[in-house]
Structure 1
C-alpha cells in the first residue's frame, strides 16, 4: 500500500468514527479485537444497504423468497455441512511477536507488493506457487514460500516462524439447563445452512417450483485470528445470502447468469467499473464445480466483496444423509425426483459497507485566489444516504425555526431528515456534506413571505429557490429506490 492510499484509508476510518458511522466495540475498555459497533449513521447506511439487496433479490424476483433462520442450529447441522471437520484456515505464528497470521494472506500481501513495485513476473509466479500449495493442502509448502520470499512479521520484523497448521474458526458454547445435560452448540459461521435445512418447509408452504431461490440476511460468527483492515475481517459480521435451487445439468448456465447479475447490482450503486473484477477460484471447495469472487479495489488492494458458487447437490444431499429425511423435489416437467443443485450468491454486508464508504469518500480542495477552503464529502447514492435532507433555519429567531420545523415534520413522515440550527450556515453545509446528505433546505426571511426555500445540492453545491410545496417531489425523484432498481 502506497503512502497516499494508506493515508486515504486512515482518513476513511477516522471519518467513520468522527461522524458516527463505525466505532471500536467496547472502546471505553480499550476495545475488543476485530469487533466493531455501527453508530447512528452507520446503522442507517447498513439498513439502506440491506433494503437495496432485499428489494433487488426478493421484491424483483417472483421466484425468490426470504426467510430469517435462527443463529443456533442443531449441532449435527455443522457435522453434515463439513464445518466441524473442515472449517479451517492455515495459520502461522511469529515466535517473537507472539502474533498469529493466516499464511495465505501473508503471501497474498507479498504478491500485492510485487505488483505495486512492477515485479509482475515474480507476482505471477508466487501466485501460481500459492495456488499449487493451497490445492495440495501443502502446509509445509506455504511455510517454504513465506521463508523463500523473506516475509517478515509486521510487528517484530523477524522471520522466526512456527510451522503452518490448521485452525478451526467456529465459536462453540453450551446449551442446557445444567452442566451435566449441556450440549455443545455453535454460533453459525454462515447463514447458508439455515436456508438448506428449511428447503422443504419453504418449498411446500410457498408452493415453489424449481428454479427458485431462498434469501436471508443475518449475523454469522468466525473466530478470525487476524484483526486488520478495519471492518474488512471481523469476528461478528453480517451476511446477505441467496441459495438458488435448480435442475441438475442447468447449474452452470444459472451460475453464469447470477455472476453477471450480481456485478450489475454492485455497479448500479455508482462505483467505477475499473474498481471491480472477477476472480475465478483456482482451488474449488469440495462441494463446488465453479466459483468466482467479485473483488473491489480497496486502498489495500483487490479483495472479495461477494462470492458466487455452484455448490452442486452437496448441501441438500448431506442434510438428507445426516437427518435421515428425504430432501428432494418432484419436477412435474420431467416427471422425476431429484436433489436440486444450488447456485449461491453470498455477500458480506460489512465489506459492502466499507466498499460504499471508500467509493463515496472524497476530500476536496475548494480554495480560490481569495481564500483557502476545503470539504470532506461522502458521495453516497441518494437512495443509500443515511440522511436524505437537512432542514436549516438561517437564524434561531424571528419565526424561522418554527417554519423550519413545519417543513421538517412534513418531510420526516417519508424520509430520515435532520434539523440543525447551530453555527453558521456554511459550517452546517459542511457537516451535512461530511455525512453524505443529498439536500440542504435553508429557511430564510423570504421563506416567511413567499413560502420558498433555498435548496442546496451536495455534489454540485449549487443552490436553487424552490417552493416548499415542491420539496417532497424533488426529494422523492432523487432518493427513490426506483432509481437503483431500474438499472438491474
Structure 2
C-alpha cells in the first residue's frame, strides 16, 4: 500500500482536521485492528497468533455437523455467543468499545436467490425484538450501508441513541455464500447442502445478525434509567421489562412483629423456586420501595395486618407506583404472566 501517496494526496487537496482546522499531519500509518499474542512454551520458538475478531467462523466450520445431526432443513439458523477481540485504537465510552467483548451471532442459512427477502425479514424482526423489550421507536434507527464488504450484497446497522449519541448495537448482513465457499475451497471438504424440495445441491447463502452482549446490556441499562419528579420529590428507578428485571418481586412485611415476617416468609417460600425474590424488613416501607425502584424490581408485595385476616397482599407496581389488593393464591400466576418472555414474543 502506498501510504506516502495517501499523505501526499491529503496535503495536495488541503484537507484539514474538522475539529482543529489544522493540517499538521503525521505520516500515514497502518493500524492493526486484530489482536495478536504469542503461543508456544519456549519464548524464542513462540509463534504470533491472532485472536478471533468475530465468532461467525466457528458456525461455518460446524455447519454440516449441525445440519446433519439436528436434521435441519434450509432455511434454518445457528446461533452462538462467545468472546471476540479487536485491537481498538481508542477504547472508550464505558463498556461500549472494548478490546475483549462478548458477541452474540446467528448465521441463518437460506436458499440462494431468497437471501434478500430473508434479509428484510430479519431486519424487521430484530427491530421488533428491541421494541418488544421496551426500547422506544424514537431511540432506534436503521443505518443502511452504502459501502459493502466484498462478501456482502446488503448490510445495515441498528443504532440506539445512547447518552453519547446514536451508536451501532447490532449488524445485519447478507453474506452470500462467501464463508462456506471459502471454507470449502481451503479445506477441500464440501460444504454443500442437498435440498430435497428443489432436488439440488448448493452452498447456502447466509443472513447474519450480530449483536454485542455488552452493548445490548448498556442499551438496556441506559434505556431503563428514569429520573422523574413526583409530588415535588425526585424519584429514580430502572424501568426494566419484567422479563429482564434481575429481581422479579420484593416481599415486604409492614412491620417486624405481629406475625407479619412469618407470613411474608411463607410467600417467599412459595415463589422463590421459580422467581428471583428479595425479602426485606429493614427501614420504613417507603424506603424499601425506593430501594427496589433503584434495582428495577417490577413488583413490591407488602404484607400487612389485613393479610393475616383474609390472605390478601398489596402489590405496588414500579412504573406507576399504583397499588392493588391481590389474593396470595393469585401471586404466582400474576408474576408468571408478567415476567414471562411470552410477553416479549407476543409483540413480534
What is the TM-score with the length of structure 1 in the denominator? 0.66
Change (3 A) 1:460 1:140: farther
Higher relative contact order, structure no. (Cα contacts within 8 Å, ≥ 6 residues apart): 1
Distance in 2 separating the partners of 1:424 and 1:159: 63
Please provide the CA RMSD for this pair: 2.6
Distance in 1 separating the partners of 2:33 and 2:326: 56
Q: Provide the residue aligned with 2:264 in structure 1.
A: 404
Alpha carbons 1:139, 1:165 under 8 Å: kept: no
Unaligned runs of 5+ in 1: 1-89, 91-136
Distance in 2 separating the partners of 1:159 and 1:432: 54
> Any idea what SS the aligned residue of 2:79 has?
strand
Greater strand proportion = 2
Alpha carbons 2:77, 2:107 under 8 Å: kept: yes
Instruction: Report 1:382-421 matches (<5 A).
Output: 382-421=242-281
Instruction: Report 1:182-261 matches (<5 A).
Output: 182-261=46-125
**2:165 counterpart (301, 312, 327):** 301
Post-superposition offset of 1:183 = 4.6
Higher-Rg member (1/2) = 2
Change (3 A) 1:186 1:412: farther
Alpha carbons 2:17, 2:23 under 8 Å: kept: no
Q: Provide the residue aligned with 1:356 in structure 2.
A: 220
Q: Provide the residue aligned with 1:477 in structure 2.
A: 337
Give CA-to-partner distance per residue, 1:141-174, whole Å, 9 cap, x none.
7899995354249xxxx87553443322222334
> Any idea what SS the aligned residue of 2:332 has?
helix
Post-superposition offset of 1:333 = 2.9
> Any idea what SS the aligned residue of 2:150 has?
coil
Post-superposition offset of 1:352 = 1.4
Q: Provide the residue aligned with 2:184 in structure 1.
A: 320
Q: Provide the residue aligned with 2:319 in structure 1.
A: 459
Give CA-to-partner distance per residue, 1:378-405, whole Å, 9 cap, x none.
1111111111001112222333222222
Matched, 1:374 2:255: no
Post-superposition offset of 1:181 = 6.2
Give CA-to-partner distance per residue, 1:41-81, whole Å, 9 cap, x none.
xxxxxxxxxxxxxxxxxxxxxxxxxxxxxxxxxxxxxxxxx
> Any idea what SS the aligned residue of 1:397 has?
coil
Unaligned runs of 5+ in 2: none
Change (3 A) 1:207 1:392: same
Alpha carbons 2:243, 2:340 under 8 Å: kept: yes
> Any idea what SS the aligned residue of 2:89 has?
coil
Distance in 1 separating the partners of 2:128 and 2:6: 37
Distance in 2 separating the partners of 1:271 and 1:376: 18
Greater helix proportion = 1
Change (3 A) 1:364 1:266: same
Post-superposition offset of 1:248 = 1.8
Matched, 1:446 2:306: yes
